[in-house]
Amino acid sequence: MELGGIHHVTAVTANASENVAFYTRTLGLRLVKKTVNQDDTSAYHLFYADELGRPGTDMTFFDWSFAGRNRPGAGQVSTTAFRVPGRETLEWWKARLDSEDVSYGEVFERNGQAVLPFTDPEGQRLELVDDTTEDEGSGVPPGVPWKHSPVDRERGIRGLEGVTLALNRLEPTATVLTEQMGFRKVEEHTENGHRTATYEVGPGGPGTVVRLVERPDLRIHRTVGAGGVHHVAFRVPDDEAHDAWRAKLAEAGLGVTPVIDRFYFRSIYFREPGGVLFEIATDGPGFTADEDPERLGENLSLPPFLEPRRTQIEAGLEPINPAGAARA
């Protein structure tokens, strides 16, 4: 019983139009689903991913217009990394980010991979990582950028590479990763004076990476603001594996929720001891469950249990207008 890597990362925006403009126009991801937060239907839930929204390729956002700017702290996902093919592709992206007025840092090497750090318009910390140093054919297969993306297909983002967690102490989280969740420690080093350790799960390599950074200097912030990450989800292939994972985590005393049907996948949640909210989600049924693959994300999708309230829900949502969004 192994986790298959990262399923998705869910973050917070306070500006849906600007968010759609950035993730689809600047980064070239496909808006594969426009739906609502099932626990707060006054908020959009926006999913950006590869051409079909394959598990492991999506970054999603809750649109909370009232949210203040996120305060970086411990107990948070501090950085989300996307995978792109090739070192020279990072140079191509630097030019693209320049032309889009997006701020980015210097390309640096981490465990033999080139990394380009940048931020979204709300300060969300992101990275592009060259995933071609891994053996071809091993690990999580990359996603496929959408053919109508404004970014060249061969340069496009092809999924999530990994996440970095900022923690007061590494050990409690590391123990849950390795003892309960099947992660393997890859390496540990000191970066900018902070202990940093890398873990992989399942097939290993891009799409399965969790980095831990020890930050005893940061306060724990559990209220996630705009530009912050709400949770990270990991993959299981089917309902049977999902149920088995739920039983295992419950037995370990991790306070896991019951199975929640998100319609596009099924979810369980628990907070790891460092304070980060983890989810385990099924690979299916996926985003083509209620829309034609050619038309994904064009209209507001509601799961069947919310469909009877469509008129009321639509009336409570601000229209999204990426064309009118201020440039980053």
Stretch that binds Zn ion, among 6-14, 41-49, 158-166, 318-326 (CB under 5 A): 6-14
Residue 15: partners with Cβ closer than 8 Å, 6 or more residues away = 63, 65, 121, 122, 226, 325
Instruction: Kindly state whether residue 58 participates in binding Zn ion, applying the rule CB under 5 A.
Output: no
| Cα separation, 131 vs 133, whole angstroms | 6
Instruction: Kindly state whether residue 282 participates in binding Zn ion, applying the rule CB under 5 A.
Output: no
Cβ-based nearer residue to Zn ion, 41 or 149: 41
The per-residue DSSP string of 15-50 comes to -HHHHHIIIIIIS--EEEEEEEETTEEEEEEEEEES
Closest contact distance (angstroms) between CB of 248 and Zn ion is 19
Stretch that binds Zn ion, among 22-30, 165-173, 174-182, 272-280 (CB under 5 A): 272-280
| Cα separation, 125 vs 140, whole angstroms | 23
Closest contact distance (angstroms) between CB of 279 and Zn ion is 5
Closest contact distance (angstroms) between CB of 233 and Zn ion is 4
Binding mask 214-243 for Zn ion (x = CB under 5 A): -------------------x----------
Q: Are 226 and 67 in contact (CB under 8 A)?
A: yes
Q: Among candidates 248, 252, 258, 257, which has minimal Cα distance to 273?
A: 252
Residue 317 has what DSSP assignment? S
Instruction: Kindly state whether residue 279 participates in binding Zn ion, applying the rule CB under 5 A.
Output: yes
Touching Zn ion, residues 8-27 (CB under 5 A): 10
Instruction: Give the tokens for residue 317.
Output: 């949502």
Closest contact distance (angstroms) between CB of 326 and Zn ion is 28
| Cα separation, 14 vs 30, whole angstroms | 20
- Residue 182 φ/ψ region, left for φ over 0, alpha for ψ in the -120 to 50 degree band, beta for the rest: left
Cβ-based nearer residue to Zn ion, 114 or 233: 233
Cβ-based nearer residue to Zn ion, 84 or 249: 249
Cβ-based nearer residue to Zn ion, 255 or 324: 255
Touching Zn ion, residues 130-189 (CB under 5 A): none
Closest contact distance (angstroms) between CB of 149 and Zn ion is 23
| Positions in the binding site for Zn ion (CB under 5 A) | 10, 233, 279
